[in-house]
Amino acid sequence: MPAEVTPAKSGYIEINCQSCGSSLIVESKMLTAICPYCASSSIIQRPPAKDLPRPSFAIGFVIDHDRATELVRQWLRKSHIFARSDFRRAGPELTRGVYLPGYLYSAVSDSNFSASIGENYTETQTYTTTDSKGRTVTRTRTVTRTEWRPLSGRHSCYVMDVVVTASRGVGNAELQAIEPFDLRALRRFQPALITGWLAERPSRTREDCLRMARSETRGKVGVMLKNFMPGDSHRGLRFETKVSREVIHLVLFPIWSFAVRYDPHKAPLQILVNGQTGRVGGKVPVSSMKVSLAIAGVVLLIGLLVLLFLLAD
């Protein structure tokens, strides 16, 4: 039996969300009329494509539906103090467990870098001043100075475990908010693994995902180079990175997707839960009223302090 997400003869259909562009594989009996990512009802059906990229690996769900709902409730209650009150009180509305397609990427990176490296040293300085009796005296003090010297070189390393989304329904930033996944739990993909779940087929091109993975890799290299710099400080770090020996695998990641509607006039917000670790991520709508009140409070406090200062003078 081929390990495609949509075995040709079984009861699978493909649905497309016209609103967010996600493309999901569902068993006919699980047919949904609402997009699990954006809660839009602009779903169209189409026959499953035959040339689906075949996932190499998948991570199974550890967090069940009830636990995920509870985690979202807690997260909503604890959302930061500037969150709109109606959002903090809102309940998760639509919940779906989805196998989200993503790419797992690793590569060897070779970078040429240049920077200025700062080395601190102390110096004893002699200076003249006037003492309490009005006499001119000579004193010494220790000052710290930094000597800058140029450094350039090559840095090679192996970058691994870069994860990027292959779904249009979930952006890379949204996926990053619920990472990391414990990749030790990766299993070879078996169609049986996704039975009873929604699974999405990649709705972003492999080239798009490669671009995202390379840019994330450059970010990681930048952090590594910063840590690699000798001396007490550095400035003007520049680097150029070439990647080689790229390895990329399509992986299905377990995600709970929640739609939270806090305002009947606004589109529901997407909150995601990592189906393996339970980490919750999503954008919190900020209450402009609370922010204004906080700013007013700070201004008032500064005013009071200035007043006290003037009075004490």
Q: Could you list the residues that contact Zn ion (CB under 5 A)?
A: 17, 19-20, 35, 37-38, 40
**8 A C-beta contact, residue 298 and residue 290:** no
Shorter beta-carbon distance to Zn ion: residue 38 or 100: 38
Q: Which residues pair with 102 in a beta bridge?
A: 165, 251
DSSP type of residue 160: E
Report how far residue 140's alpha carbon sits from residue 91's, in angstroms, rounded to the nearest whole number.
67
Which CB atom, from 38 or from 273, has the smaller least distance to Zn ion?
A: 38
Give the phi and the psi of residue 237 in degrees, each rounded to 5.
Answer: -70, 125
Residue type, 180: P
Select from 255, 247, 55 the least CA-distant residue to 161: 247
Distance in Å, CB of 19 to Zn ion, minimum: 5
Peptide bond into 230 cis (omega under 30): no
- Say how far apart CA 168 and CA 110 lie, in whole Å: 31
* Cβ count near 163 (within 10 Å): 20
The whole-angstrom separation of Cα 161 and Cα 220 is: 11
Nearer to Zn ion by Cβ, of 34 and 286: the residue is 34
Tell the smallest beta-carbon distance from residue 178 to Zn ion (Å).
Answer: 18
Smallest separation (angstroms) from Zn ion to the CB of 20: 3
CA distances from 238 to 47, 176, 222 (A): 50, 26, 9
Contact present, 301 and 133 (Cβ < 8 Å): no
Angle value at C-alpha 53, between 11 and 193, nearest 5 degrees: 50
Neighbours of 189 (CB within 10 A): 21
| Cβ–Cβ under 8 Å, residues 123 and 142 | yes
Smallest gap from Cβ 42 to Zn ion, in A, equals 8
DSSP string, 30-57: G--SS-TTT----EEEEPPPS-PPPPSE
Nearer to Zn ion, 37 or 103 (CB): 37
Q: Which is nearer to Zn ion, 46 or 149 (CB)?
A: 46
Q: With respect to Zn ion, which residue has the nearer C-beta, 40 or 56? A: 40
CB of 169 to Zn ion, least distance (A): 5
User: Which pair of tokens denotes residue 65?
Assistant: 């539906």
> Judged by CB, which is closer to Zn ion: 117, or 166?
166
Of residues 19 and 69, the one with the C-beta less far from Zn ion: 19
